């Protein structure tokens, strides 16, 4: 299999990332040493006991301009080559989820952005000890006003939480990013990435990690800003070191394209996107966005919303 055989990848977008990564030249001897080391590692993994690699990452030299001539298979992951310093990874045997494109939902300054998500209980530290919990957030559209977060065991029917249940935790939400600020962001991926680089100057362990975390933090509300969600996806793909995967699942099992920066966060989990619309679905095996919309007051059911498939 060659890179062009993979669906869902747009390799032309790996050119000219901001800022440009290094492009070291490898001599024939060094190239041979790297290839032989990779083959030895593959052989060792095949004969050893099966084990799960964190985030399903394979150890390859992503910073080197090396094109692997052979397809490498470990478990269900196939590394087909390196493009622009990024891994091109495909996970076999999973059907992609398609949620469609979000509707246009008008938001007034006095309303609240509503989000309903499923999250791992360990990830949220829910006091009830549930393995999987549901969380609902109300954030002021115009910013500046307090909102609300409800967290509790996921309802069996997949409906909204009962705010009066003793298992539902309540937390006041203050501050937050102004939704109007998101509407003002550029939807050209290059301009958007340049903007985020400027906004995150001097932050993070590395600048790339700060940019990646900024983008991850605005993906959910960006789903309702026309053109912004797709622009954020394409901008994130241009960050040096970002890994692109197919067949990545969120916590409810929806399958899509994953973007990850392996050195970002404790486990480098991927952000999961719908393969067709590029709508953000959630974070690999930890969160899933189920519904997003607008409510008239904090704690009230949404007046208008979009449910993102199963």
Spatial neighbors of 205 by CB under 8 A, at least 6 apart, are 263
For the record, the structure tokens of 270 come out as 């991927």
State the pairing for strand pair 147-153/72-74.
Answer: unpaired
Selection from 37-41, 260-264, 274-278 with the highest mean pLDDT: 274-278
Task: Answer with the residue of higher pLDDT: 29 or 230.
Answer: 230
Rg of the Cα atoms in the chain: 21
Question: Among residues 32, 84, 41, which one has the least CA distance to residue 60?
Answer: 41
Mean pLDDT of the chain: 73
Q: What is the pLDDT of residues 80-109, one digit of tens each?
A: 332 333 444 444 556 787 888 899 999 998
Task: Answer with the residue of higher pLDDT: 81 or 181.
Answer: 181
Angle between the N-to-C axes of helices 228-237 and 207-222, in degrees from 0 to 180, rounded to the nearest 10: 160
Please return the burial class of 46, using the count of CB atoms within 10 Å of its CB with bins 0-12, 13-18 and 19+.
exposed
State the pairing for strand pair 271-273/280-283.
Answer: antiparallel
Q: What is the pLDDT of residues 118-168, one digit of tens each?
A: 998 665 666 666 678 999 999 998 877 889 999 998 887 768 999 988 989
Query: Of all residues in the chain, what percent are helix, strand and coil, respectively (each to 5)?
Result: 25, 25, 50
DSSP character string of 165-225: STT-EEEEE-----HHHHHTS--SHHHHHHHHHHHTTT-SSSHHHHHHHHHHHHHHHHTTS
256 — pLDDT class (breaks 50, 70, 90): very high
CA–CA distances in Å: residue 147 to residues 114, 123, 161, 171, 231: 10, 21, 16, 9, 28
For the record, the structure tokens of 201 come out as 């100057």
Task: Answer with the residue of higher pLDDT: 262 or 33.
Answer: 262
- For the segment 190-218, the average pLDDT, to the nearest whole number, is 95
In angstroms, the CA 213 to CA 236 distance is 10
Neighbours of 146 (CB within 10 A): 13
Determine which of 33-37, 189-193, 233-237 has the lowest per-residue pLDDT on average: 33-37
Residue 227 sits at φ, ψ, to 5 deg, of: 85, -15
Please return the burial class of 268, using the count of CB atoms within 10 Å of its CB with bins 0-12, 13-18 and 19+.
middle
Question: Among residues 117, 66, 55, which one has the least CA distance to residue 264?
Answer: 55
- Chain centroid to Cα 15, Å, comes to 21
Q: What is the pLDDT of residues 20-73, one digit of tens each?
A: 334 344 455 544 545 554 455 444 433 343 333 233 332 221 222 222 222 222
Neighbours of 53 (CB within 10 A): 12
Please return the burial class of 42, using the count of CB atoms within 10 Å of its CB with bins 0-12, 13-18 and 19+.
middle
- For the segment 245-254, the average pLDDT, to the nearest whole number, is 92
Contact at 8 Å (CB) between 179 and 228? no
């Amino acid at each position: 299999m060659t890179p062009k055989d993979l669906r869902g990848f747009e390799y032309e977008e790996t050119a000219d990332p901001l800022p440009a990564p290094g492009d070291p030249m490898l001599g024939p001897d060094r190239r041979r040493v790297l290839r032989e080391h990779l083959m030895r590692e593959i052989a060792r993994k095949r004969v050893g006991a099966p084990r799960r690699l964190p985030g399903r990452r394979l150890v390859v030299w992503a910073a080197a301009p090396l094109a692997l001539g052979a397809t490498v298979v470990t478990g269900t992951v196939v590394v087909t080559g390196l493009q622009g310093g990024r891994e091109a990874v495909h996970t076999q045997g999973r059907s992609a989820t398609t949620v469609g494109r979000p509707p246009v939902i008008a938001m007034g300054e006095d309303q609240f952005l509503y989000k309903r998500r499923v999250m791992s209980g360990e990830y949220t530290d829910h006091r009830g000890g549930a393995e999987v919990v549901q969380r609902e957030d109300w954030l002021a559209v115009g910013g500046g006003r307090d909102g609300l977060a409800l967290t509790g065991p996921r309802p069996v029917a997949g409906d909204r939480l009962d705010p009066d249940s003793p298992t539902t935790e309540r937390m006041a939400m203050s501050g937050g990013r102004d939704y109007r600020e998101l509407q003002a962001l550029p939807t050209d991926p290059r301009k958007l990435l340049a903007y985020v680089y400027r906004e995150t100057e001097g932050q993070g362990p590395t600048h790339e990690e700060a940019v990646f975390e900024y983008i991850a933090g605005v993906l959910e509300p960006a789903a309702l800003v026309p053109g912004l969600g797709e622009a954020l996806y394409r901008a994130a793909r241009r960050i040096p070191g970002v890994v692109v995967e197919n067949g990545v699942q969120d916590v409810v099992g929806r399958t899509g394209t994953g973007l990850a920066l392996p050195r970002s966060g404790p486990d480098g989990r991927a952000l999961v996107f719908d393969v067709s619309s590029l709508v953000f679905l959630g974070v690999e095996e930890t969160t899933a966005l189920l519904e997003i919309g607008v409510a008239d007051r904090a704690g009230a059911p949404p007046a208008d919303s979009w449910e993102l498939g199963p």
